[in-house]
Amino acid sequence: MNIKLIIAAMLAATSMAAHAGKDMQALMDKAIAESFKPGEGQDLSRLKQDETQMLCSTSRNSPSPKDAEALMTREKATIQYPADGKLMGDWKQGEKLVKSGFGMRIGSIEPDPPAKQKGGNGGNCYACHAVDPKEVAAGNMGPSLTGYGKLRGQGEDIAKYTYEKLYNAQAFVACSNMPRLGHNGILKPAQIADITAYLLSSESPVNK
Amino acid sequence: MKYKAMSLGVALALAVPLAWGEASVEEYRAALADKDANPGLLTIDKGEILFKEKRGPKNASLEKCDFGLGAGKIKGAYAQMPRYFKDTNRVQDVESRLVTCMVKLQGFTEAEVKTHVFADQRSNEGNTDLEALTAYVAYQSNGMEINPPLKHPMEKETLSLGEALFWRRTGPMDFACSTCHAEDGKRIRLQPLLNVLNKKDIQATMGAWPTYRVSHGVVRTMEHRMWDCNWQMRTPDIDYGSPAAVALIAYLTHQASGGVYDLPGMKR
């Protein structure tokens, strides 16, 4: 087999490995551009993918080890901290944010009411996690967080990890199903510190 | 039969405000053991009347609408959709095809037809014309195999596009359809999530749409489900019958092929 053939075969194999080839990308872009309503109360910018969303889509959430490494490094660099530097805030405020599934729904049919939007977004954690053992209506897309602080401790290291994980889940797990809550602007740094306290504090119902 | 469906519809509507879980729907399903009591049948009746009624600037009925098997042939047509249509040169699902026929045969403008496609469950509104028409046309494939064609190149392209869109992550939550619908046994809070990659699961699911949604008190269609899940993904409104909506529906329907339509369905 000559070298050119080998290279051609290798190229074919790599292009097949990516689920969405170049043509498919163009088709998708066209379909997206033609399929969503513009205008008041809409926000077409939400359909534009960043590099991470694009990579996770085309690799169906299984990027190569090299791509995953680069992705996590890039996401880690986005993390911002509260102005006062405290990663553990008020756990009672954190509890409210964990419970609230409010926020970010738009469109002409059933947008989140503007009056309520002033109250800010929730973290929507119960959609995916068990947290307070007394709350039974908990999803299971993510692991249970019940007893999180009791199991993990309350030291500086775990506070830093928890804060950073909440700010940008993909700094630790490439293509995680958990939203990048801080990076995407759903929660503010001070709110993330409140939730961190809720998960870690020994007074919190999470750890009772 | 109609009386039974009506009184049950009232009972369901009254019960709706009491937070509906999957268990209570099961109870109602059991109480309903005979299909004649599905309130969706009333919507289908309404759809039949609308379908046969002369309407629009051209004062025509929809009886000559071609859903892919020839003008006026609706028996089994839904079971073989989405499909490619030569006259529009695109792949269409039953709902976008109804829009085409209301424009071409009845003389409505597309904008007129699409001003209010979904009933507003918050004001207890009854089904819209498009919802009722869809329920009626789909019901003519009840008991038939889910069998969308895959011959025309555009049918193949639409299927691949739908699959790629299923995995496309976007928006402030980084969600794709696959985030919630690609694993067995997952729940959002207490709501069980369909796994589109599980053949049995997707066959049973697609076989039950259009479906009477107890929590909405009306029949819902796949176009509504596409809007609803996109809304949950925090995207702008996906447009009724748009290329992305049709491609997603084509992908879901092909995943379900070989299943059987058991209509109208009944869900939370």
Beta-ladder partners of B170: B175
- What per-residue confidence (pLDDT) applies to B14? 40
- Where residue A61 falls (left for φ over 0; alpha for ψ -120 to 50; beta otherwise) is left
Residues near B182 by beta carbon (within 8 Å), at least 6 away in sequence: B195, B196, B197
Q: Chain A residue with minimal CA distance to B189?
A: A139
- Tokens 């424009």 sit on residue: B103
Q: Chain A residue with minimal CA distance to B177?
A: A57
Domain residue spans of chain A:
1-35, 36-207
Rounded Cα–Cα distance for residues A27 and B162 (Å)? 10
Rounded Cα–Cα distance for residues A105 and A115 (Å)? 13
3-state DSSP assignment of residue B20: coil
**What's the token pair of residue B217?**
């008190």
How does pLDDT run across A17-73, given as a tens digit for each residue? 456 677 999 999 999 999 999 999 999 999 999 999 999 999 999 999 999 999 999
CATH annotation of B35-267: 1.10.760.10
Does the beta-carbon distance from B172 to A179 stay under 8 Å?
yes
Report chain B residues whose CB lies below 8 A from the CB of A23: none
Rounded Cα–Cα distance for residues B52 and A121 (Å)? 48
Does the beta-carbon distance from A140 to B185 stay under 8 Å?
yes
CATH-assigned architecture of domain A36-207:
Orthogonal Bundle (1.10)
Strand pairing category for B83-85 and B218-220: unpaired
Task: Give yes or no for A109 touching B (CB within 8 A).
Answer: yes
**What's the token pair of residue B192?**
């069980």
- Where residue B261 falls (left for φ over 0; alpha for ψ -120 to 50; beta otherwise) is beta
- What per-residue confidence (pLDDT) applies to B29? 61
Q: Give how far A10 is from chain B: nearest CA, Å.
A: 23
In the 8-state DSSP scheme, what is residue B125? P
Domain residue spans of chain B:
1-33, 35-267
Task: Give the largest Cα separation in chain A, rounded.
Answer: 70
Q: Please report the ipTM that was assigned to this predicted complex.
A: 0.90
Rounded Cα–Cα distance for residues B42 and B17 (Å)? 22
Annotate A37-60 with three-state secondary structure. Answer: CCCCCCCHHHHCCCHHHHHHHHCC
- What per-residue confidence (pLDDT) applies to B260? 98
pLDDT in tens, chain A (208 residues): 455 545 444 444 444 445 667 799 999 999 999 999 999 999 999 999 999 999 999 999 999 999 999 999 999 999 999 999 999 999 999 999 999 999 999 999 999 987 776 778 999 999 999 999 999 999 999 999 999 999 999 899 999 999 999 999 999 999 999 999 999 999 999 999 999 999 999 999 999 9
CA neighbours closer than 13 Å in the CB half-sphere of residue B183: 10
Does the beta-carbon distance from B243 to A46 stay under 8 Å?
no
Rounded Cα–Cα distance for residues A182 and A205 (Å)? 24
pLDDT per 10-residue tile (average), chain B, 268 residues: 46 42 61 76 98 98 98 98 98 98 98 97 97 98 98 98 98 98 97 98 98 97 98 98 98 98 96
By C-alpha distance, which of A69, A81, A67 is closest to A183? Answer: A81
- Where residue B221 falls (left for φ over 0; alpha for ψ -120 to 50; beta otherwise) is beta
Cis status of the peptide bond prior to B82, with omega within 30 of 0? yes
Determine whether B229 is an active site residue: yes
Rounded Cα–Cα distance for residues B16 and B14 (Å)? 6
